[in-house]
Structure 1
Amino acid sequence: MTSTSAPITVRSPGKLFIAGEYAVVTPGEPAVLVAVDRHLTVRLTESRGAGSVHSPEFGRTPLVWGRGADGLTIDREHHPYEYVLSAITLAERLRGETGRPARFFDLRIDSGLDDVSGRKFGLGSSAAVTVATLRAIDEFYGFGLDRIDVFRLALLATISIAPNASGGDLAASAFGGWIGYRSPDRALLRSELDAGASVTELLASAGWEPLAIERLRPPMDLRFLVGWTGEPASTERLVDAVRGGSGAMDYPAFLLNSRACVTDLWDALGRGDDTATLESIRRARRLLQGLGRTAGVSIETPLLSELCDTAEAFGAAGKSSGAGGGDCGIVLAPATADVAGLVRAWEDRDIRHLTIGVSPAEGGHP
């Protein structure tokens, strides 16, 4: 597998949810996310005879892929790299549809989304690796995909593995900055994909409604902070648990309230109203607390509660980020907040302050 062209290196950022969790899995319901300034890097090198995927996170032995009469052949003896392989598979379909000759390549994946010991912070590594892989292959084959095409291809690859994924993390990774997001009908897209629709047709299909991706203005004078509880969380498990417990709650009312809250947050950011932004963060926290109580699911764990309550005590607003159940909480702190005191209080409670910012800070492309 000898290199025949210059390597291609692509970085994609991780993400954190600001508001709209759980509701966003319902098509059309809004959420706000940020891309963060920690990245996952994919390095693509052309090869011959077969391709490989290698990440130090998953051992020294790469996964090897080739082509057979029925498409991609994969040596699954080692780590499956599901999202990467799904992205390669879809890119191969697009390559065939556009008449480009088949080539092989090796992928080297290095993640800066976790700590040095490999513990995950919940920054969306599967989304970042899917987006970065597709951007690298796009450059390799010269597809000429724009950001929305990369997002759409990444979502098609993702729902082949996780049908209920909202795609918000993919939007943040593909576009960067502060993102307003509404998910499309992924069940419809998955059915079209499974029915054999061409990738080219799907990228241009009208079936993406009610998808919306909008770059939002960052808060005017609010500092963005991230705390990590050290407790791992499984988004898929928590979302399934909430759905399983939804018979005890008025879920349509939750969706209605979430929509109102996130829409207000979207508007507050648009007009630079930091006071209204902070109030929307507090409302979003209360909504998730109520959802967890009625569904019998620990969305806001005791440590996440301490993280958020401490932020309030020091003059800021905080909430869990993403599915909750551990991982990270986000805080927006006005200039009057005692941030140094807040961070010290977190440390006293074994909550780690992560030195994470928004990528890029001004809200444009990463």
Structure 2
Amino acid sequence: MSQPWTTEVRAPGKLYIAGEYAVVEPGIPAVLIAVDRYVTVRVRDAVGTGHIISDLNAGSRLEWYRRDSDMVIEADEALFSFVLAAMRIVEEVVVEFGEPLRIFDLAITSELDDDSGRKFGLGSSAAVTVATVAALCAHYGLDLSRMEQLKLALLAGTEVQRSGSGGDIAASMFGGWIAYTAFDRAWARRERAQRSLAELLALDWPGLSVRRVAPPDGLRLLVGWTGSPASTSRLVGGVQSRKDQGGTDYAHFLAESRRCVTSLVDALNAGDREGVLAGIRRNRELLRQLGERTGITIETPTLRHLIETAADYGGAAKTSGAGGGDCGIVLIDADAGIDGLLALWERADIRVLNLSVHQPEGPVE
């Protein structure tokens, strides 16, 4: 008879509000929110063989065991790449702290896909990484701050996806509205090769910053899903591979994105409604220009329809995340009538996602 689950942690999904693509460069800001759909990870001790069970990827299961201290998996690891990276990074800290390694079962459930398994673009990889790190830290009794757990999750994420900024991981870890800037990944790789993991967690990471941002005053957030899942790693990788071909264009994009997002954060914190709307519109234009210059389809026809119809109703709209499908976001006056807008979206097969902001739990540490 199976033992009861002894540890349970959930991590929220995320949405980008502004700063996409530029945020992959260290120190360039983005604004994100955590949303109230979750990945839940449960852990319990096991004997001999551990299992990873997931309702992601059409319901998957993996067995693992130990050969000395090594984790041995004989099946294809691809479906669980982020989970396994998170498991290994936490256990590296466990070993450094002199604690014994354990065999355990780990179960994953997700609310970040639709009923057919298509992704909404809410950051399921980031959420499962955060939830796995937090659950195993709790299971092993590791006394790590949230910022230290964030660093573990960032390292795990870069083991799988080298081009990501980590903003989705930070939003999932801290909740609420945040301004995020990415760490210097090349610096982290160098330090990782020279230091213990515990030493690396204690350092200030160049570029890395997470700050609370005030939610928009008097504005409502609408999220429309196009029904067309997009590959963030492919789209971001495509822009990164082309960034040197545009001469000064990419540097100009970074400078303008920094200026735009900084102004947006200031407007949010000041309760400047018009400044917030202007920031969203400006960021949309910067992303549209980036797509044109690189030949990457960031704003699909369906997303363009979402944006332009929202503008007709007085809202400010843009793609969220890498674009290429997935979600668009709208900030619109909280008192605005939106029935007509939603009817237009329905006719265009744009699904409104009933999302709220996952409220933060405590300060950023």
Contact kept? 2:69, 2:101, Cα under 8 Å: no
Give the structure 1 partner of residue 107 of structure 2. 108
Q: Which amino acid aligns with 1:222?
A: L
Structure 2 residue aligned with 1:86: 85
CA distance in 1, matches of 2:71, 2:30: 36
SS of 1:154's partner is helix
| Helix, strand or coil at the partner of 1:27 | coil
Residue 70 of structure 1: how far off its partner (Å): 6.1
Amino acid across the alignment from 1:264: S
Is structure 2 residue 214 aligned with structure 1 residue 217? Answer: yes
Which structure 2 residues correspond to residues 20-169 of structure 1 after superposition, within 5 A? 20-58=19-57, 62-69=61-68, 71-77=70-76, 80-169=79-168
- Per the alignment, residue 15 of structure 2 pairs with 16
3-state secondary structure, aligned to 2:131: helix
Note the residue ranges of structure 2 that are not aligned, 5 or more in a row: none
Q: 1:339 to 1:182 in 2, by over 3 A?
A: same
Residue matched to 1:234: 231
Instruction: State, as a whole percentage, how many aligned pairs show the same letter.
Output: 51
Aligned counterparts of 2:242 and 2:329: Cα–Cα separation in 1: 26
Give the deviation of 1:159 after TM superposition: 0.6
**Aligned partner letter, 2:233:** E
Change beyond 3 A, Cα 1:84–1:173: same
Tell me the equivalent position of 1:332.
Answer: 331
Q: Write the mapping of 1:337-352 to structure 2, written as runs, cut at 5 A.
A: 337-352=336-351
How many residues of Structure 1 are paired with residues of Structure 2 in the alignment? 361
Q: 2:240 aligns with which of 214, 238, 243?
A: 243
Deviation at 1:251, TM superposition (A): 0.6
C-alpha contact (below 8 Å) 1:160/1:190 kept by paired residues: no
Shift of 1:57: 2.7
SS of the residue aligned with 2:160? coil
* Residues 282, 354 of structure 1: alpha-carbon distance in 2 compared, 3 angstrom cutoff: same
Q: Deviations along 1:301-327, whole A, 9 cap, x unmatched?
A: 110000000110111111000010000
Moved over 3 A (4+): 58-61, 77-80, 363-366
In the other structure, the counterpart of 1:200 is 198
Cα separation, 1, equivalents of 2:58 and 2:309: 39
What is residue 171 of structure 2 aligned with on the other side?
Answer: 172
Contact 1:225/1:357, CA 8 A, preserved across alignment: no
Residue 315 of structure 1 aligns with which residue? Answer: 314
Which amino acid is 1:312 matched to?
Answer: A
TM-score, length basis structure 2: 0.95
Q: TM-score, normalised on structure 1?
A: 0.94
Could you tell me which amino acid in structure 2 is paired with residue 230 of structure 1?
Answer: G
Alpha-carbon RMSD across the aligned residues, in angstroms, is: 1.7
Write the distance in 1 (CA, Å) between the matches of 2:308 and 2:123: 25
Matched with 1:253 is: 252
The whole-number CA distance in structure 2 between the counterparts of 1:84 and 1:126 is 9
Structure 1: any 5+ residue segments left out of the alignment? none
Q: Secondary structure at the match of 1:75?
A: coil
Rounded Cα–Cα distance in structure 1 between residues aligned with 2:240 and 2:198: 34
